[in-house]
């Protein structure tokens, strides 16, 4: 196996998930590039030293520029706050490093455009961390659609509900301020749903009408609980959408939906069937196809199995279950292959900017009250 | 038990369902008014004679005016095509008969207004057959919300998908022509969803932006299959909505959604919990409330039981299951009580017209591309 | 429609359910015999008069012999405690009346044999109220099996859990005494499961090893709560079983299983597939058959529909849902057809005695600790 | 972090799963012992060299004795066929190495006893790979039971169905011969179910009556398909069981159950509630506890979350989903802690032998037709 030198920037949840994926990939797939953990970066010197040892990196630094400049590093993971994505990605690509960047791509379309320009100006591969789209079962569903299992696609309808901010007693945070963090559920949650809409339809959203709701308009200041702070971005974001292919759909997300932990649920309607998925049951899809015998017709609950590529690299038999981190390994696999073959993975920066533009269009529509073009 | 004389106009599915409900009500409830089957009406003379015998009515007629004029008839069921609702309802109310009218209320807001005026000009009770809202479990959910089980209501999101017209090979019918039948899924399917939105939120939709999609735009003529006919009303109807109470929501319906047989699914989001329902599992609701111990938190699947009034009138123990027709009996119960007490049932004509106005507003918005007031 | 005169003995839950079914049958089916409610019987004079009016019977009595002797009565429902089944059934059959008798058949095999002898000595039809076996979807599953949908039947595994007596604080009742009521869960709950095992396998249990458990061994006296009473029959009853066809299976029932309201769940395993059912979702079955494409294989959730005879007599479209009482109407349909055609319905007395013998064998085995022949 | 030297014997599915777990553990947990991959062993020289590179081991060998003798190796994974477990485990323990051994423990009780003796004669820790018992959600359920969430445990009922051998056209293999592999489903599948029964009840099975069924009695020879071979071990294994604590239960497994991919489903019944689990939905448990308000009572679907230790080491938020391999990492965590603290993990060899004895007792009972003591 040929090796590839890895740098990871950021050591929180996503930095950790990327590092686990890098450590597993060689064993899981047994072919292709084998990641070699070169350098870990975090702005906290003490933390990065501790994590280097835990995670098994050869070197550590507090300055991302060290990673970018390191000749042994060939692929860089960007797992830091969104506001830093542009700067690091542009530097890494300029230095000829491949980039695996967490989602969303950036904090504005302009930033995303700068990142895309840097990617286009390089020979490097990029991949955005829209992990739910990398689930082997979701990709198998995509294949089945391509093969005609549900006929012509006629609609996409998706919801992504979480309850991160559902408790009205949760104190105010920077995430609840438009000035500090931009849109709310639109930025944080909608991007996942748009990525899924684009993947599953094989098309792109071109026109939307959106609406926002802020259901908990005041929250206590975290330091001075007697002081109420204004929440001025969206707890809930809803849109009607038109796609380039001519189909229509609906999108809805909420960060205040009690009981939904990772409630990304979508349906793709076809002229001859339907496929549905619920991320909280990530090892199942529901498939309805027409049946000769109406007495036997119904939605089929399909469990992840060895026939859903690359499940077999993890587990020999169906029903044993992949987890979030396994799917992160699948995601990495896409990027490693892109690096080997020169064929871009999905969603690369060129795909991610289309997601950013949809969120931007929803924002413009929600503020203006009009249908807008993406 | 005091009796009440019944006339039923229409002998298809709904006429039959009403007749079964009338025959069962006395035995099921054992108190209140006991229906006495007086007169059955159908325009087909042979059919109405046969059905009179099967269903146990005392008399039969082919002219609805005989039912309206019959002094023994006190309550009239209107189970005929929508275009006839206004004429019969107005006549029945003018004759001092109570009216149980199938949904939707009428084929236009103007007709519905005429019906409402007739009801207001009488001392009679009216009820519209929005049967899904009469499910004991749904009403119990409504009670739980009123008692604060999920806190302040913050959103309503509903879908009603069916596959009646999903097959692209189904021939053209009058239902697919705007001229012949008005809107498509909006009229046939959306009305149910709006009735549920109004019941569950205890509020009303006041503003919408809507969109239509006709996914199968040509269908074969039923007589001359070589001839393709244009479908010019909506297979799919979607809307974003604002409610009088200040909350927002989403509504989506389709008549071409493969695999959904009676796919009326809704969620009501609260500041402290959530309730969800799927009509295909009519004996279950999902309830999420906050838990002291996070290890134990989750959606509860609640089965219909004797504690969900009036389930106990049907079955002594939970989990045995009510069906569509039982819920129709519950619906009748509401009307019989309204007649006894003079307190209107829900949804009476005064409630139904608000549903009609929402569908009308969605139509105006879908055609104009703008947010419109209901 | 030809009419048939009906007598109902017993006015509690089952007497009521039978009466609702009789009142509905003509309207629902529109052909065959139309029940005419002749005489209602209850030992409580006041109650029977009230119920006669509510339920619409022509006459009432407190003596079942009046029903048996009434020339207008042709079919008698026996809805009284099990200990009275034999006496009434034998008298009714001797008088040439058809009999619809609630389950279980009797309180001993000897009583059941006397009932069977009476049936054999008459020209009358009999039917036992094993209502779960009359669900249109269950019968459709039976048809699918006969047609080979899951290949050769290779096993039956069933559970019936309820929580009627789950609360340890529920006071002692006669049901908890072997002397007063015989076996516990074996008599009350297992009979349903055995009826389902016999129907679905098309075979009969011939050999068992059984076990009992009494998990709440002392309960408070209902009158004197300070006094603890011994529970000496089974809360839980379990068995391994062999069938005449050569297959094997397992059976388990409990009356102390918290959360199960009507938890009759069974699986029938085939050489080419599997079918599963859960009575708490009576409008669904799960069907697994082999798939050409492993990526698409999974259990199908089939909703009750118009293609599951006689669903279409109730509702025109799938997914609207039948309830327990509708299934009781289906059950009646079987008996009315048997009366018309002379072809026995299932389970008639000749079938019911086989169910009784299995419960008796389980009891003998649980007491002896040995495998026993039925 | 202190390091621990690792040897892995076997490179098939389980050798691979162990290796992934070792590579991930340091990063996932960030404390405790950090595995260092020292030596990989496989009898195939070419394969072991390739796997060494893929998996990142320092050295490779074809002789397990090299691993046992290697001074840098402190912990050995035994991931080879069951018949080799005893020999390797005894050698490893004699050499002072800790042992992580895949299930089942051995091919006979006598072998298991030799392994246990070796463990007792050492200062080393052992752990058997009953991975389903290591699911954080299952362990949380165990904690909830200990805390009284469902009251006194009154019963355990479990099933483990798979369809590995469901296809009658699958050719004969050594697994289907009693001489070659001992019992069938009893050895391969039942051991998992017994491990779960012991964990969840906190007790042990002491007495059983068992039964076998071989439903596909002849299979084609893999080399000469015209030749039919006799299958003489169990496709299906069923038992009634008594536990040391006085409770009773049922166990059933099948290797020929179409549609079940990893169908390990169990229920633990309590005097005040119930908990259910289905391994095919490994991130969910069902919990029923008594409710003050009967209108709100139902089974709660609990999703794996950060409050189910050690989920938070993998993922920050509930609902994201652990997979089989993550659970393997949790399993390793138990062993690493045992090594650090000297407190045994569960199930160590002393626990595993109790599982073996139950399977042995079921075998004796199935052959003799009598209840037998474990």
pLDDT at B181: 83
Place of tokens 């230095």: A95
- The percent of residues in chain C predicted with pLDDT above 90, rounded, is 98
Sign of torsion, CA A179 A184 A189 A192? negative
Rounded distance between C-alpha atoms, residue C367 and residue C233, angstroms: 11
Per-residue pLDDT tens digits for D209-252? 999 999 999 999 999 999 999 999 999 999 999 999 999 999 99
Separation of CA B251 from chain center: 16
Interchain pair A323, D319: CB under 8 A: no
Average pLDDT of every residue of chain B: 97
Asked whether the predicted pLDDT for residue B1 surpasses 80, the reply is no
Closest residue in chain C to residue D154, using alpha carbons only? C215
Per-residue pLDDT tens digits for B312-345? 999 999 999 999 999 999 999 999 999 999 999 9
Separation of CA A372 from chain center: 24
pLDDT category at B292 given cuts 50, 70, 90 is confident
Interchain pair D321, A318: CB under 8 A: no
Instruction: Indicate which of D25, D35, D135, D323 best probes the interface with A, i.e. most A CBs within 10 Å of its own CB.
Output: D323
Rounded distance between C-alpha atoms, residue C287 and residue D259, angstroms: 9
Minimum-distance CB partner of B301 among D143, D298, D303 = D298
Per-residue DSSP letters for B284-327? EEEEEE--SSGGG--EEEEEP-TTSTTGGGT-SSTTS---HHHH
Closest-CA residue to B26 (of B1, B57, B58, B56) = B1
Rounded distance between C-alpha atoms, residue B80 and residue B70, angstroms: 19
For B88, the 3-state DSSP assignment is helix
Ramachandran sector of residue B190 (left: φ over 0; alpha: ψ -120 to 50; beta: rest):
alpha
Closest-CA residue to D76 (of D31, D110, D122) = D122
pLDDT at C181: 83
Asked whether the predicted pLDDT for residue D266 surpasses 80, the reply is yes
Place of tokens 């012991």: D198
Distance from CA of B338 to the nearest CA of A (A): 37
For D3-130, which CATH class? alpha beta
Tokens of D298: 């139902």
Per-residue DSSP letters for A170-226? SPP-GGG-HHHHS-SHIIIIIHHHHHHHHHHHTS-EEEEEEEEE-S--EEE-SS-TT
B127 and B347 Cβ atoms separated by less than 8 Å: yes
Per-residue pLDDT tens digits for B241-272? 999 999 999 999 999 999 999 999 999 999 99
pLDDT at B156: 98
pLDDT category at D14 given cuts 50, 70, 90 is very high
pLDDT at A292: 86
Using a CB-CB cut-off of 8 Å, the residues of chain A touching C289 are: 296
**Domain ranges across chain B:** 3-130, 132-323+330-338+346-373
Asked whether the predicted pLDDT for residue D1 surpasses 80, the reply is no
Q: Which residues contact B355 (CB under 8 A, 6 or more apart)?
A: B104, B105, B130, B191, B194, B195, B198, B347
pLDDT at B180: 86
Distance from CA of B149 to the nearest CA of D (A): 9
Per-residue pLDDT tens digits for A219-259? 999 999 999 999 999 999 999 999 999 999 999 999 999 99
- Mean pLDDT, rounded, for A50-65: 97
Q: Alpha-carbon Rg of chain C, whole angstroms?
A: 21
Interchain pair D23, A28: CB under 8 A: no
Minimum-distance CB partner of D308 among B295, B301, B303 = B295
Q: Which residues contact D287 (CB under 8 A, 6 or more apart)?
A: B296, B298, D141, D144, D149, D150, D273, D274, D275, D299, D300, D302
- Mean pLDDT, rounded, for C351-359: 98
pLDDT at B197: 98
- Mean pLDDT, rounded, for B117-143: 98
Rounded distance between C-alpha atoms, residue C352 and residue C358, angstroms: 10
Distance from CA of B253 to the nearest CA of C (A): 16
Interchain pair B143, D287: CB under 8 A: no
pLDDT at D291: 84
Using a CB-CB cut-off of 8 Å, the residues of chain C touching B24 are: 20, 23-24
Instruction: Indicate which of D145, D155, D205, D365 best probes the interface with C, i.e. most C CBs within 10 Å of its own CB.
Output: D155
Closest residue in chain D to residue C286, using alpha carbons only? D259
Per-residue pLDDT tens digits for D15-27? 999 999 999 999 9
Q: How big is the B-D interface in CB pairs under 8 Å? A: 52
- The percent of residues in chain B predicted with pLDDT above 70, rounded, is 100
Q: According to DSSP H, which parts of C121-190 are helical?
A: 136-146, 178-181, 185
Sign of torsion, CA D51 D54 D55 D57? positive
- Mean pLDDT, rounded, for D193-203: 98
Per-residue pLDDT tens digits for B155-211? 999 999 999 999 999 999 999 999 988 999 999 999 999 999 999 999 999 999 999
Per-residue pLDDT tens digits for C269-284? 999 999 999 999 999 9
Q: Which residues contact A40 (CB under 8 A, 6 or more apart)?
A: A7, A8, A11, A15, A19, A48, A51, A52, A55, A57, A59, A60, A61
Chains touching C, CB cut-off 8 Å, 3+ pairs = A, B, D
CA dihedral B85, B91, B93, B98 (to 10 degrees): -60
Using a CB-CB cut-off of 8 Å, the residues of chain D touching A283 are: 280-281, 321
What is this model's ipTM?
Answer: 0.96
Q: State the burial class of residue D129 (Cβ atoms within 10 Å of its Cβ: 0-12, 13-18, 19+).
A: buried
Distance from CA of C282 to the nearest CA of A (A): 15
Using a CB-CB cut-off of 8 Å, the residues of chain B touching C27 are: 16, 19-20, 23, 54-56
Number of Cβ within 10 Å of residue C30's Cβ equals 17
Instruction: Indicate which of C139, C289, C296, C307 best probes the interface with A, i.e. most A CBs within 10 Å of its own CB.
Output: C296
pLDDT at B291: 84
pLDDT category at A162 given cuts 50, 70, 90 is very high
- Mean pLDDT, rounded, for D343-367: 98
Number of Cβ within 10 Å of residue D63's Cβ equals 11
Tokens of B137: 């479990």
A133 membership: H or E segment, kind and range: none
Chains touching B, CB cut-off 8 Å, 3+ pairs = A, C, D
Tokens of C269: 């395993």
Interchain pair D262, A318: CB under 8 A: yes
pLDDT at C19: 97
pLDDT category at C332 given cuts 50, 70, 90 is very high
Q: Which residues contact C223 (CB under 8 A, 6 or more apart)?
A: none
Per-residue pLDDT tens digits for D127-156? 999 999 999 999 999 999 999 999 999 999
pLDDT at C1: 72
Interchain pair C247, D213: CB under 8 A: yes
Closest residue in chain A to residue C139, using alpha carbons only? A295
CATH architecture of structural domain B132-323+330-338+346-373: 2-Layer Sandwich (3.30)
Interchain pair C303, B280: CB under 8 A: yes
- Mean pLDDT, rounded, for D341-370: 98
pLDDT at C86: 98
Asked whether the predicted pLDDT for residue A1 surpasses 80, the reply is no
Minimum-distance CB partner of D20 among A1, A27, A31 = A27
Chain D residues within 8 Å of chain B (Cβ atoms)? 140, 143-144, 149, 287, 289, 294-303, 305, 307-308
Interchain pair C256, D247: CB under 8 A: no
pLDDT at C254: 98
- Mean pLDDT, rounded, for C7-27: 97
Average pLDDT of every residue of chain C: 97
C209 and C371 Cβ atoms separated by less than 8 Å: yes
Distance from CA of C12 to the nearest CA of D (A): 23
pLDDT at A180: 86
Distance from CA of A297 to the nearest CA of D (A): 17
The 3-state DSSP composition of chain B as helix, strand, coil percent (nearest 5) reads: 40, 25, 35
Q: State the burial class of residue A81 (Cβ atoms within 10 Å of its Cβ: 0-12, 13-18, 19+).
A: exposed
pLDDT at A291: 84
pLDDT at A147: 98
Closest-CA residue to B322 (of D77, C64, C31, C323) = C323
Rounded distance between C-alpha atoms, residue A328 and residue A313, angstroms: 13
Sign of torsion, CA A318 A323 A324 A328? negative
Half-sphere exposure of A263 (CA within 13 A, CB side): 20
Minimum-distance CB partner of B298 among D296, D297, D301 = D301
Using a CB-CB cut-off of 8 Å, the residues of chain D touching A164 are: 317
Using a CB-CB cut-off of 8 Å, the residues of chain B touching D270 are: none
Beta bridge partners of D250: D157, D240
Asked whether the predicted pLDDT for residue A299 surpasses 80, the reply is yes
Asked whether the predicted pLDDT for residue D73 surpasses 90, the reply is yes
Using a CB-CB cut-off of 8 Å, the residues of chain D touching B302 are: 295-298
pLDDT at C305: 98
Chain D residues within 8 Å of chain C (Cβ atoms)? 150-151, 154-155, 157, 159, 166-168, 209, 211, 213, 215-216, 236, 238-240, 247-248, 250, 252, 254, 256-260, 269-274, 288-290, 297-299, 369-371
Tokens of A349: 């920066």
Per-residue pLDDT tens digits for A6-49? 999 999 999 999 999 999 999 999 999 999 999 999 999 999 99
Minimum-distance CB partner of A295 among C144, C294, C301 = C144
Pairing of strands A3-9, A34-41: parallel
pLDDT at D181: 83
For B131, the 3-state DSSP assignment is helix
Q: State the burial class of residue A272 (Cβ atoms within 10 Å of its Cβ: 0-12, 13-18, 19+).
A: middle
pLDDT at C25: 97
Distance from CA of B302 to the nearest CA of D (A): 5
Q: According to DSSP H, which parts of B167-314 are helical?
A: 178-181, 185, 191-201
Beta bridge partners of A35: A4
DSSP character at residue A104: S
Place of tokens 């009742």: C173
Per-residue pLDDT tens digits for C116-162? 999 999 999 999 999 999 999 999 999 999 999 999 999 999 999 99
């Amino acid at each position: 196996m040929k090796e590839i030198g890895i740098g990871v920037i950021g050591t929180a949840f996503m930095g950790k998930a990327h590092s686990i994926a890098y450590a597993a990939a060689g064993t899981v797939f047994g072919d292709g590039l084998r990641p070699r953990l070169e350098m870990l970066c975090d702005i906290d010197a003490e933390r990065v030293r501790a994590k280097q040892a835990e995670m098994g990196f050869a070197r550590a630094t507090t300055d991302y520029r060290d990673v970018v400049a390191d000749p042994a590093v060939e692929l860089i993971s960007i797992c830091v706050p969104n506001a830093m994505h542009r700067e690091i990605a542009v530097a890494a690509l300029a230095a000829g490093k491949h980039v695996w960047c967490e989602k969303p791509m950036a904090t504005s379309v302009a930033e995303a455009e700068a990142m895309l320009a840097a990617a286009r100006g390089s020979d490097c591969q990029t991949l955005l961390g829209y992990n739910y789209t990398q689930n082997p079962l979701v990709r198998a569903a995509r294949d089945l659609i391509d093969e005609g299992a549900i006929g012509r696609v006629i609609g996409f309808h998706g919801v992504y509900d979480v309850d991160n901010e559902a408790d009205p007693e949760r104190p105010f945070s920077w995430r609840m301020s438009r000035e500090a963090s931009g849109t709310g559920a639109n930025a944080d949650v909608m991007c996942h749903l748009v990525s899924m809409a684009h993947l599953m339809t094989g098309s792109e959203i071109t026109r939307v009408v959106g609406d926002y709701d802020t259901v908990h308009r005041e929250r206590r200041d975290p330091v001075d609980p007697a002081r109420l702070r204004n929440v001025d971005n969206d707890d809930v974001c809803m849109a009607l959408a038109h796609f380039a292919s001519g189909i229509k759909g609906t999108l809805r997300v909420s960060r205040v939906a009690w009981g939904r932990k990772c409630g990304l649920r979508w349906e793709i309607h076809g002229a001859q069937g339907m496929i549905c998925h619920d991320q909280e049951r990530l090892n199942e899809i529901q498939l309805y196809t027409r049946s000769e015998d109406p007495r036997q017709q119904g939605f089929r609950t399909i469990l992840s199995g060895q026939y859903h590529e690359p499940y077999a690299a993890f587990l020999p038999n169906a029903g044993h279950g992949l987890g979030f981190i396994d799917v992160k390994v699948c995601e990495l696999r896409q990027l490693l292959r892109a690096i080997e073959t020169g064929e871009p993975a999905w969603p690369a920066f060129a795909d991610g900017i289309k997601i950013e533009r949809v969120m931007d269009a929803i924002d413009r529509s929600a503020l203006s009250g009009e249908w807008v073009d993406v």
